[in-house]
Amino acid sequence: SAQIADLQQKLLDADNGDRAKQRWDSIATILEAKCALKYLLGELVSSKVQESKLQSSLEQSQASCSDVQKMLMEERNHIADMEAEFQNQILVQEQQHQEKVNHSSWK
């Protein structure tokens, strides 16, 4: 199956290569060459515009991701501070409770 798929792909690639060669071989006049060149330059410009848009979108996504990571880090730090404060309050409550127990046992 893999060999058949590989052969089919090679045939498709060869067919596409032959078509491209036939297209170039069919250009017989300067006017046809100018038209082909104009088309190819249009495709190049279109590709460059698309590449630029994708690059811009990627940069915006990266900036957005960076902002989200910064917010996440700030939230984690805030939660860590809250947990530390909570643990401190628990210790204070335990100490106060222990003092009350000890104080009442002295009476």
Predicted confidence (pLDDT) per residue in 32-46, tens digit: 888 888 998 999 999
User: Which pLDDT value is given to residue 70?
Assistant: 98
Indicate the pLDDT class of residue 17, thresholds 50, 70 and 90. low
The H or E element spanning position 46 is helix 30-106
Q: The pTM is what?
A: 0.53
Vertex 97 angle, CA 91 and 101, to 5°: 145
pLDDT in tens, 18-28: 666 677 777 77
For the chain, the domain total comes to 1
Do 62 and 71 form a contact (C-beta atoms < 8 A)?
A: no
Range of the domain at 65: 2-106
**Out of 5-9, 37-41, 44-48, 68-72, least confident range:** 5-9
